């Protein structure tokens, strides 16, 4: 191993600062390593330290685990969460017994064929229990490598993940693979943390691209926000003597209790509402506005209708008792009303457009 390689720097750091006293690091048989890896996938080390000894005491060997009832396995797992994986654990033990009672640690592909064991976990078990050269890529390692090499793009994306696997394999040393594997996981867990990484204590500070380019905070690239569902709503801009009709919204739902434009699910609904009130005139579609909520995106489709001075008495448009409260609103003399920001913006834009027309 070259003395200034990624692996040698990492191993030096690990010998001095890594954890060497975890229960599964002693007597690292495939069975003991496997149980720890599955537990650690979903749980922090402190909690695993609580569960692991009890589990191993009850099921000292893979044969004991395979022979147990699923209920008993789940009982010892209770509180760790992700119970699908406890069921896989049980199924996997039985699969190993069907193979003769030994994990097929010599073969990556045979390991991956076992229930609950994928590429990274298979490699971890092989590296820790046999020292064979095998490469892991879990969340910690992804974070270390994206920063170290300055790899941009969401690591869940196929091309990025393939790049990371390639890099991970390239950096895996020929010797000391077990220690190296533990070391890179420890580095990610203790120094190269998601937030506020301890770069001054990192053995790779001089070589780290993210550190050099001040990108540690934005790498790994976060998962793209999934496109929120879109809701289209039609809003009526009913104008009368330079005022607009507002309705008080119900207390429940978005903009509860605020004053807003009459809202409709469809343009047909809007037209029916106008027809019921014998409100006629030219209905003009206005440019749509998009407004993002946390759980969906609202497409505001405004429709403007100018009422002639003679066509309406001053007062509410609807008089029935269960109808929403209504007022005429003059943006030039705004009353102390709560208006949703996008509605306020829409009204201001209308006013600006009208003033523009005057000149």
Partner DNA sequence: AAGGCGGGGCA
Partner DNA sequence: TGCCCAGCCTT
Q: Minimum distance between the CB of residue 92 and DNA, rounded to whole angstroms?
A: 8
**Position 116 contacts DNA (CB under 7 A):** yes
Q: Minimum distance between the CB of residue 124 and DNA, rounded to whole angstroms?
A: 8
Query: For residues 8 and 41, which CB has a smaller minimum distance to DNA in the complex?
Result: 41
Contacts of 64 (CB under 8 A, 6+ apart): 58
Residues within window 300-359 making contact with DNA, judged by CB under 7 A: none
Is the CB of residue 173 less than 8 Å from the CB of residue 1?
yes
Tokens at 266, concatenated: 């469809």
d(C-alpha 327, C-alpha 150), whole Å: 57
- Given the rule CB under 7 A, which of 16-24, 25-33, 42-50, 94-102 is the region that contacts DNA? 42-50
The helix or strand, by DSSP H or E, that contains position 245, with its residue range, turns out to be strand 243-248
Binding mask 83-112 for DNA (x = CB under 7 A): xx---x------------------------
Closest CA to 143 of 41, 34, 217, 40: 217
Q: Minimum distance between the CB of residue 224 and DNA, rounded to whole angstroms?
A: 9
**Position 190 contacts DNA (CB under 7 A):** no
DSSP 5: S
CA dist 322 → 250, 273, 275, 353 (Å)? 11, 15, 19, 35
**Position 36 contacts DNA (CB under 7 A):** no
d(C-alpha 19, C-alpha 25), whole Å: 9
Closest CA to 124 of 113, 137, 106: 137
Residue 37 annotated in active site: yes
**Position 294 contacts DNA (CB under 7 A):** yes
Binding mask 226-265 for DNA (x = CB under 7 A): ----------------------------------------
**Position 195 contacts DNA (CB under 7 A):** yes
Judged by CB under 7 A, which of 2, 26, 158, 282 binds DNA? 158
> If 0-12 CB within 10 Å is exposed, 13-18 middle and 19+ buried, where does residue 4 land?
exposed
State how beta strands 230-240 and 297-306 pair: parallel
Judged by CB under 7 A, which of 32, 90, 126, 143 binds DNA? 143
One of 37, 152, 247, 276 is an active-site residue; which one?
37
Q: Count of residues binding DNA (CB under 7 A)? A: 32
For the annotated catalytic residues, the residue numbers are 37
Q: Which residues bind DNA (CB under 7 A)?
A: 41-44, 79, 81-84, 88, 115-122, 138-140, 142-143, 155, 158, 194-195, 222-223, 225, 294-295
């Amino acid at each position: 191993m070259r003395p200034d390689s990624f692996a040698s720097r990492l191993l030096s750091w690990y010998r001095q600062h890594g954890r060497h006293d975890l229960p599964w690091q002693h007597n690292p048989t495939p069975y003991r390593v496997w149980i720890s890896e599955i537990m650690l996938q979903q749980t922090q080390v402190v909690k695993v330290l609580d569960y692991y000894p009890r589990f191993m005491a009850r099921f000292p060997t893979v044969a004991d685990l395979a022979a147990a009832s699923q209920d008993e396995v789940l009982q010892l797992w209770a509180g760790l969460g992700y119970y699908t994986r406890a069921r896989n654990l049980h199924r996997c033990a039985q699969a190993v017994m069907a193979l003769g009672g030994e994990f097929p640690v010599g073969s990556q592909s045979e390991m991956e064929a076992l229930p609950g064991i994928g590429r990274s976990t298979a490699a971890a078990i092989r590296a820790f229990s046999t020292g064979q050269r095998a490469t892991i890529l879990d969340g910690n390692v992804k974070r270390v490598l994206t920063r170290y090499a300055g790899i941009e793009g969401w690591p869940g994306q196929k091309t990025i993940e393939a790049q990371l696997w390639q890099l991970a394999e390239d950096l895996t040393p020929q010797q000391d693979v077990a220690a190296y594997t533990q070391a890179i996981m420890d580095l990610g867990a203790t120094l190269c943390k998601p937030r506020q990484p301890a770069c001054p204590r990192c053995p790779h500070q001089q070589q780290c691209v993210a550190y050099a380019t001040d990108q540690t905070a934005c790498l790994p690239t976060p998962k793209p926000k999934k496109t929120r569902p879109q809701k289209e709503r039609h809003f009526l801009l009913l104008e009368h003597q330079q005022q607009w009709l507002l309705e008080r919204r119900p207390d429940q739902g978005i903009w509860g209790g605020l004053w807003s434009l009459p809202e409709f699910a469809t343009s047909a609904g809007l037209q029916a509402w106008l027809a019921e009130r014998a409100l006629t005139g030219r209905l003009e579609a206005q440019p749509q506005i998009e407004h993002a909520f946390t759980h969906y995106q609202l497409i505001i489709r405004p429709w403007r209708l100018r009422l002639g001075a003679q066509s309406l008495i001053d007062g509410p448009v609807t008089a029935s008792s269960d109808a929403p409260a209504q007022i005429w609103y003059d943006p030039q003399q705004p009353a102390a009303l709560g208006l949703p920001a996008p509605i306020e913006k829409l009204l201001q834009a209308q006013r600006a457009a009208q003033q523009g027309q005057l000149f």
